[in-house]
């Protein structure tokens, strides 16, 4: 539908209980705010900084839990895929397949995801200019796939830092697909913690507000009841109890934004 969309959940599938609890609470918040909700969590973190990081509960157990959430709460699910062979199985459970930023140029993965017929959310690589997403999209369009979302999640800015170029949202919107702003990965500090990725959670609501003021179709944000104890991306996830206030502020900005500023 045409309402605004929130995409979120805990970064990685830590346990069924955590996911159920988060899904339920976020569902209630999004209903209250009258926006769509797509639940996100990763069955596998294939590109962790360190080999010793927690990667998830595995492919099958992960998909089982995502399916349970989908049925229990009647909400669509998004998750990320990392190799072509995963796409078909994942598409049986989830509604949106997500292409991680590092992988946004991998043609086989893009095609395999598109061939499932599911919506494909492509995260713009940290190494890419917004204009280059045109070629990425074209790989899907060539096989007749047009169910596409484009996500901004920050661009490489020197070492161990990302910057969000708000012009990127404007540029990508010209490509004709809904634009998502990933507010939590955008504040990551890659390699900032030695063997883990750091982050500045403090900036999440500000960047979210800014993106809203530029004009976007959905917000992506990872959230967790207790980010300090999260098994992945703790430093940038939103504490679950703050989510409503943060989204609520962002939506107020959306309500005053005109489609065209200059008549």
- Could you say which residues in the range 43-62 bind a copy of itself, by CB under 8 A? 46-52, 55
Question: Binding segment for a copy of itself among 6-14, 27-35, 210-218, 223-231 (CB under 8 A)?
Answer: 210-218
Site size toward a copy of itself, by CB under 8 A: 73
Question: Binding segment for a copy of itself among 7-15, 24-32, 73-81, 247-255 (CB under 8 A)?
Answer: 247-255
How far CA 205 is from CA of 11, 148, 184, 201, 202, in Å, comes to 18, 26, 9, 8, 7
Query: What is the closest distance, in whole angstroms, from the C-beta atom of residue 99 to a copy of itself in the complex?
Result: 12
Instruction: Decide: helix, strand or coil at residue 113.
Output: helix
Q: Crossing angle of helices 107-115/86-93, nearest 10°?
A: 40
Provide long-range contacts, Cβ within 8 A and 24+ apart, for 17-24: 18/224, 18/225, 19/65, 19/66, 19/69, 20/68, 20/69, 20/72, 21/225, 22/223, 22/224, 22/225, 22/240, 23/69, 23/72, 23/73, 23/75, 24/73
Query: What is the closest distance, in whole angstroms, from the C-beta atom of residue 23 to a copy of itself in the complex?
Result: 22
| 184 contacts 208 by C-beta, under 8 angstroms | no
Binding mask 130-169 for a copy of itself (x = CB under 8 A): -xx--x--xx--x------------xxxxxxx-xxxxx-x
Query: What is the closest distance, in whole angstroms, from the C-beta atom of residue 160 to a copy of itself in the complex?
Result: 6
191 binds a copy of itself (CB under 8 A): yes
Query: What is the closest distance, in whole angstroms, from the C-beta atom of residue 71 to a copy of itself in the complex?
Result: 29
Query: What is the closest distance, in whole angstroms, from the C-beta atom of residue 241 to a copy of itself in the complex?
Result: 9
Binding mask 107-126 for a copy of itself (x = CB under 8 A): xx----------------xx
């Amino acid at each position: 539908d045409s309402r605004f969309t929130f995409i979120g959940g805990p970064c990685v599938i830590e346990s069924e209980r955590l996911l159920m609890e988060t899904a339920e609470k976020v569902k209630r918040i999004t209903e209250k705010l009258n926006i769509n909700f797509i639940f996100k969590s990763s069955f596998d973190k294939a590109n962790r900084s360190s080999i010793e990081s927690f990667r998830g509960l595995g492919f099958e157990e992960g998909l089982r839990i995502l399916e349970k959430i989908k049925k229990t709460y009647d909400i669509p699910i998004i998750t990320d895929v990392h190799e072509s062979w995963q796409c078909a199985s994942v598409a049986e459970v989830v509604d949106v397949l997500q292409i991680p930023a590092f992988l946004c140029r991998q043609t086989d993965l893009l095609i395999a995801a598109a061939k499932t017929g599911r919506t494909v959310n492509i995260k713009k690589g940290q190494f890419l200019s917004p204009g280059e997403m045109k070629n990425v999209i074209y790989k899907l369009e060539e096989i007749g796939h047009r169910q596409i979302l484009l996500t901004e999640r920050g661009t490489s800015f020197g070492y161990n830092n990302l910057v969000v170029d708000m012009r990127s949202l404007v540029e990508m919107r010209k490509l004709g697909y809904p634009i998502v702003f990933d507010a939590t990965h955008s504040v990551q500090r890659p390699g900032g913690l030695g063997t883990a990725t750091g982050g500045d959670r403090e900036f999440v609501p500000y960047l979210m507000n800014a993106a809203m003021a530029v004009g976007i179709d959905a917000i992506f944000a990872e959230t967790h009841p207790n980010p300090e104890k999260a098994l992945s991306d703790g430093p940038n996830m939103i504490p679950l109890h703050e989510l409503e206030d943060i989204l609520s502020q962002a939506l107020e900005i959306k309500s005053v934004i005109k489609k065209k500023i200059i008549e």
